[in-house]
Amino acid sequence: MMVVRGRADFAEPHASFAARACRQPAISLQLGNLSNPGPDMQPRHRLNALIDLWLDEDIGAGDLTAALMIDADAQARFVMQAREPLVLAGAEISAQVFLRCDAGIVITPLAKDGTRLQRGDAIMELRGPARSLLTAERTALNIVQHLSGIATATARYVDEIRGMPARLIDTRKTTPGLRSLEKYAVRCGGGANHRLGLDGGVLIKDNHLAVTGDIATAIAKARAGAPLLTKIEVECDTLQQVAEALAARADVILIDNMSLDDMREAVRLVAGRIPLEASGGVRLETIRAIAATGVDFISTSRITQAATAPDIGLDEL
């Protein structure tokens, strides 16, 4: 690897990296210039806390290899690039990982989240202390690969129903601790978000009904206690339940694991009065047929739970 001699100072263990980075002037990644809202829709300090946790996990007491192999004052330049076609997500978060490790790293963004990249397309250029760059490399690549995998999977599903009225939405089946980032990646891929959490709306499912009783009673209880503008959605497994939810004035009906014929009949029963969400059995090869039934939304956990991380690498310049 070619390095350029220059400024030093990266011999300290990671325990002080975060504190040192936080003492630096505020770092702006210009998150507002994306077509999607910011990467995590939460305060910056929470994202920094996540990044510090990731770095602590990987670095421990210090990067032994970098400390032994790389001179403290060595400088390096790298380019992060796609090694296969993908939809980019998490590039700015990846950049923040490098900066949390060492605020002296200089990053030149070359691609925005939400962009479709081909093999060899550059994502960012980085230069600065070689030890810092190599220490942060794996953590930074892990998050951009993970989120880009979700964005890429989402885009494939979106492409299957392009031009049709139905919209693809995600679920709460996400990695603990990474939900807001994974939902951001879904948006980068062209999908939309369902509830961000349990406090984002009322969704009455079969297990709620098993405890509460019938649909009408459950909706009445929810309506009596929920804030005025809160949406009440009901999961229905049968057409009879669809009729009950409609009569009880649900705001949204989720038709779960229904046949295509039953989906079409549910669409006929509802007749556009409220939105219909289809879920269960949604795969890349089935989503277009589901959309053709006339439902408004299609939700699947596969875009977050089954996404494959694409190959993204850091190469020396």
Domain count, the chain: 2
Active-site option among 102, 113, 244, 256: 256
Establish whether 9 is a catalytic residue: no
Active-site option among 77, 156, 173, 264: 173
How far apart (Å, rounded) are the C-alpha atoms in residues 112 and 207? 42
- The verdict on 170 and 147 lying in the same domain is no
Active-site option among 5, 7, 46, 138: 138
- The verdict on 69 and 167 lying in the same domain is no
Q: Which domain holds residue 183?
A: 163-305
Four-point Cα dihedral 8, 98, 15, 309, nearest 10? -140
- Both tokens assigned to 191: 């999908």
- The verdict on 65 and 194 lying in the same domain is no
pLDDT at 290: 98
Establish whether 182 is a catalytic residue: no
Establish whether 205 is a catalytic residue: yes
Establish whether 235 is a catalytic residue: yes
Q: What is the CATH number of the domain that holds 25?
A: 3.90.1170.20
> Per DSSP, which regions of the chain are E strands?
4-5, 74-82, 86-87, 106-109, 116-117, 122-129, 167-169, 202-204, 232-236, 252-256, 276-279, 297-299, 312-316
Q: Which residues of the chain have pLDDT under 50?
A: 1-37, 40
* DSSP structure class, residue 292: T
What pLDDT digit, counting tens, does each position of 196-253 carry?
999 999 999 999 999 988 999 999 999 999 999 999 999 999 999 999 999 999 999 9
Active-site option among 20, 116, 205, 264: 205
- The verdict on 126 and 171 lying in the same domain is no
pLDDT at 36: 45
- The verdict on 170 and 206 lying in the same domain is yes
Establish whether 221 is a catalytic residue: no
- The verdict on 65 and 196 lying in the same domain is no
- The verdict on 247 and 274 lying in the same domain is yes
Active-site option among 92, 160, 235, 244: 235
- The verdict on 115 and 213 lying in the same domain is no
How far apart (Å, rounded) are the C-alpha atoms in residues 40 and 197? 13
CB 54 within 8 A of CB 97: yes
- The verdict on 137 and 194 lying in the same domain is no
- The verdict on 178 and 138 lying in the same domain is no
- The verdict on 194 and 139 lying in the same domain is no
pLDDT at 45: 79
Mean pLDDT of all residues belonging to the chain: 89
- The verdict on 133 and 12 lying in the same domain is yes
Q: What is the CATH number of the domain that holds 241?
A: 3.20.20.70
